[in-house]
Structure 1
Amino acid sequence: MSPDVELSAVSLHLDGRRILEDVSLRLTARRTAVIGANGSGKSSLVRLLNGLHVATTGSVRVAGLDPVRNTRDVRRRVGFVFADPDAQILMPTPAEDLALSLRDVPAPERTARVEEALEWCGLGALRDAPATELSGGQKQLLALASVLIGRPDLVVADEPTTRLDLRNSRRIGDALLGLEMPLVLVTHDLDLARRCDEVVLIEQGRVLAQGAPDDVISAYLQVCA
């Protein structure tokens, strides 16, 4: 299944600064990693995919939809996972936070899906515990589960392992790469990027390379040398 994402001649300027310039990109793989140096434009690029950023020029299409004109439909289809789970956890407990994502779903189905999500992320015993007391790894699993419970067509994860220790980083990485739906993953973890089907390298706001993980990561290491 393809994420069906296409950017055509996209530029993005924020606060008078050029963030992205003339980016044309089509994503066809099930699991795509986006890599590059800090400040290269990686996070800004993926924020275009659900309307968190609006392109200054050019066009963005996700499943044929414009994330700005069709914001509600696109955000229903595109689940976004942030680096900081505290930015996503809005309710006092895990069970309440998961239920919030299903507020338009009938109560019996909502209850069943919340319990399924709690089991998936290993928080069944902590369903009513204060979310603020969860570990970093548990919070990130809850944030991911709150996205997945909405059954998106595409998951975009912006450096979801950057704040985690090695054990939890691997756990989140395994969970993301095991998803059935397409994934776009911004990461500095090159081992995780190698496990994806394709890699996109962003350098100074432009696409420098796209292709097989080993080839693109080699290009990245040469740029960093």
Structure 2
Amino acid sequence: MDIRFEGAGARFGERIALEPLTLTLTERRIGIIGLNGSGKTTFARMINGLTKPTEGRVTVNGLDTRDDAASVLSMVGFIFQNPQNQIILPIVRDDIGFGLKNRGMGKAEIRTAVDVVLARFQVSHLAERRAHELSGGELQLAALCAVLVTRPQVLILDEPTNQLDLKNRALVERTIEGLNEDVVVISHDLELVDDFDRVLVFDKGRLAVDAPPEEAITRYRELVA
């Protein structure tokens, strides 16, 4: 992973969502923390081009999120805070295969790819289930499968344990730990990122702390206090 912010910032009208910043991300597991409205989600959405910088530029493995938008989107997967909003089709198998169908793959090839990704996360039993019947943890895993079946190099997860009970939280946490892909995790759940390689703390639209987890989390608690 090679993600670069080069004087990149974002504003919406008169409101500054993220002050311009310059940094390079190369670590495999990066946590992003901060209060609501601190700029952390804007920062994450700028990585895969869901939000374009209004000044400066962002590149992923050398590709500009503005000029090479389609390539960056295929390289960086994003799982939203409410995964049910990401699931389009009612049957889990069909939804996971939807992105592959849009890429022109045949039915047999899609079925094989879906079976492989379901087996990878030990959720083959969910294949024929209806999305509205799934638990919170199962929804997260279904959304994860739908993104990873397209083989992104980087995965961004926005509040993956939000509103999950302890059992489902543990399920999602174990799954994240076992991912081979590079991951960027936005979370209020500090324990989720306390063993990551690097943690960024955002405050009032600016990057306030960029440090190893223990230092970043300590300084975040000081900011909150």
Higher deviation after alignment, 74-83 or 116-125: 116-125
> SS at 1:114's partner residue?
helix
SS of 2:188's equivalent in the other structure is coil
Q: In structure 1, how many angstroms separate the alpha carbons of the residues matched to 2:105 and 2:197? A: 34
* AA aligned opposite 1:48: M
Q: Tell me which residue corresponds to 2:191.
A: 191
Residues 153-186 of structure 1: CA deviation (Å, up to 9, x unaligned): 1101111111211221221122122211211111
Q: Is the 8 A contact 2:121 2:175 kept in 1?
A: no
Report 1:96-107 matches (<5 A): 96-103=94-101, 104-107=104-107
- Structure 1 residues 15 and 173: alpha-carbon distance in aligned structure 2, compared to 1, 3 A threshold: farther
Give 4+ residue runs of structure 1 displaced > 3 Å after superposition: 120-123
Q: Partner amino acid for 1:210?
A: D
Change in 2 beyond 3 A, CA 1:179/1:123: closer
Counterpart for residue 141 of structure 1: 141
| Cα distance in 1 between the residues matched to 2:118 and 2:28 | 26
Matched with 1:42 is 40
8 Å CA contact retained: 1:121, 1:142: no
Q: Give distance in 1, aligned partners of 2:214 and 2:18.
A: 24
Residue matched to 2:88: 90
Counterpart of 1:132 in structure 2 is 132
Offset from partner CA, 1:107-131 (integer Å, 9 cap, x none): 3322111112223344423322221
Question: Is 1:208 aligned to residue 199 of structure 2?
Answer: no
Q: Which runs of 5+ in 1 are unaligned?
A: none
Alignment partner, residue 65 of structure 1: 63
- Counterpart in the other structure of 1:180: 180
Say if 2:96 and 2:149, in contact at 8 Å, map to a contact too: yes
Query: Does residue 21 of structure 1 match 2:15?
Result: no
Give the fraction of aligned pairs with identical amino acids, expressed as a percent.
35
Deviations for 1:7-32, whole angstroms, at most 9, x for unmatched residues? Answer: 01122111431110122221121000
Q: Which residue of 2 aligns with 1:32?
A: 30
Structure 2, unpaired ranges of 5+: none
Give the RMSD, CA atoms, in angstroms.
1.3
Q: Are the structure 2 counterparts of residues 179 and 125 from structure 1 closer, same or farther at C-alpha, using a change threshold of 3 Å?
A: closer
* Paired residues of 1:10 and 1:23 also in contact (CA < 8 A): yes
| Deviation string, structure 1 residues 60-99 (Cα, Å, up to 9, x no partner) | 0111111121111011100101110111101110100111
Q: Give per-residue Cα distances to partners, 1:36-60, cap 9 Å, x unaligned.
A: 1111010010001111111111110
For the 8 Å contact 1:95–1:114, the answer to whether it is kept is yes
SS of the equivalent of 1:207 reads strand
Give the distance between the partners of 2:61 and 2:121, measured in 1 at CA. 28
Q: TM-score, normalised by structure 2?
A: 0.94
Secondary structure of the residue aligned to 1:143 is helix
Cα distance in 2, alignment partners of residues 102 and 123 from structure 1:
19
Using the size of structure 1 for normalisation, the TM-score is 0.94
- The equivalent of 1:219 in structure 2 is 219
